[in-house]
Copies of this chain bind each other. A is one copy, B any other.
Amino acid sequence: MKDITLKEIAFQLGISITTVSKALKDYPDVSPQTRNAVKKLAQELHYTPNSFAVNLRTKESKTIGLIVPELVHHFFSNVVNAIINEAEKNGYLVIILQSNESLALEKKQVELLINKRVDGIIMSLSNDSNNDDHIKGICARNIPFVMFDKISKLSTCSKVVINDQKAAFNAVQHLIDMGCKKIAHIRGPANPQNSVDRFIGFKKALEKNNIVFDPSLVYTCENVSFEEGKHFAEQIINDHKDIDGIFAITDLVAVGVLAYLNEKEIKIPAQIAVIGFSNWFMSQVLSPKLSTVDQPSREMGIESFNLLLEEMNCHKEGKIFKPRTIELKTSVIIRDSTMKIVI
């Protein structure tokens, strides 16, 4: 495609480049006739301002980068959805990358975005992320930066999170309130802060209720998948005949648990109560409907973008921005999978 330039328009109309530029920007010192002629020709020739040149002048790309572990995940696609919509409302475009839960890829993608000169970066860490040199790199370059959900506690940037410990505590407390006495936990991998925090919440709820913590009741996912839910449900039943409650790290895993228990015709919740985490849309469609912790994904996306926007604006005006952490509220959603009749 040959780029149509201001020069081309000026040449065709026999006027100066400055006049063309002023006409397109509606400057009052250009006559309405000239303005209309310029605009008409610009439209006919499909003239668009060269954004690379505009970027070079303004030092802004009006583009932000977003790195998520994976897009095909109810929670993340909801957050991404909210970020894209919020960004567009504010005149920003979003480049999206997926780390596929790999630290190496995540590091490479941070470099890509920095080289692309995005105006800011929003990120949720991969499960693999056990060091934060690349995050320090973003901060060292003074690039506006927000982490959400899966964060690194050590870094000094802005964060949008939930209180995973408290949320998990409430989920397990609910199982205990429903009469569960022997509760297994299918936890996430070792690195992500939120899987550690949910595990701590689980332990604290047991402690509070004078239930002795038994490490053999904790099962650790690698991929946090539906298949792992099924697999660990089978293992739990084999290892502990008298289990009466299961708390799964996320709804996808809990759905796997339900699928296995249904297959084996184990009554939910009469025999085993099950609770998940994240309030996936599907959790209310299943049979039985899944109890879970509601994680406000849309709000998380909106708050993340708005924090970034604030920092980008400060940055543009040369003001100092003080990073903030926003903690969003969660709630336990009680459905059929835990509604035991307590006598």
Most central of A226, A282, A285 by chain B CB within 10 Å:
A285
* B-contacting 9-mer, from A43-51, A186-194, A212-220: A43-51
The answer to the question of A78 belonging to the interface, with a C-beta cut-off of 8 Å to chain B, is yes
- Chain B minimum-CB-distance residue to A46: B141
Taking CB atoms and an 8 Å cut-off, the chain A residues in 14-67 that contact chain B are 46, 48-53, 55-56, 59, 61, 63
Residues of chain B lying within 8 A (CB to CB) of residue A281: 226
**Chain B proximity of A337: nearest CB distance (Å):** 13
A72–B81 touching, CB < 8 Å: yes
The answer to the question of A115 belonging to the interface, with a C-beta cut-off of 8 Å to chain B, is yes
Residues of chain B lying within 8 A (CB to CB) of residue A167: none
State how many copies of this chain the complex holds: 2
Residues of chain B lying within 8 A (CB to CB) of residue A74: 72
**Chain B proximity of A198: nearest CB distance (Å):** 23
B52–A56 touching, CB < 8 Å: yes
- Chain B minimum-CB-distance residue to A142: B1
A70–B61 touching, CB < 8 Å: no
The answer to the question of A93 belonging to the interface, with a C-beta cut-off of 8 Å to chain B, is yes
**Chain B proximity of A69: nearest CB distance (Å):** 12
Ordered nearest first, which 6 A-B pairs have the shortest CB separation? A52-B55, A52-B56, A1-B142, A72-B77, A93-B95, A77-B77
- 26 CB contacts below 8 A, A to B, read A46-B137, A46-B141, A48-B115, A49-B115, A50-B56, A51-B115, A52-B56, A63-B95, A63-B116, A71-B71, A71-B80, A71-B81, A71-B84, A72-B81, A77-B77, A84-B96, A85-B98, A85-B100, A88-B109, A93-B95, A93-B112, A93-B116, A94-B96, A226-B285, A262-B287, A282-B285
Residues on A lying within 8 angstroms of B by beta carbon are 1, 3, 46, 48-53, 55-56, 59, 61, 63, 70-72, 74, 77-78, 80-81, 84-85, 88, 93-98, 100, 109, 112, 114-117, 137, 140-143, 226, 255, 259, 262, 281-282, 285-287, 315
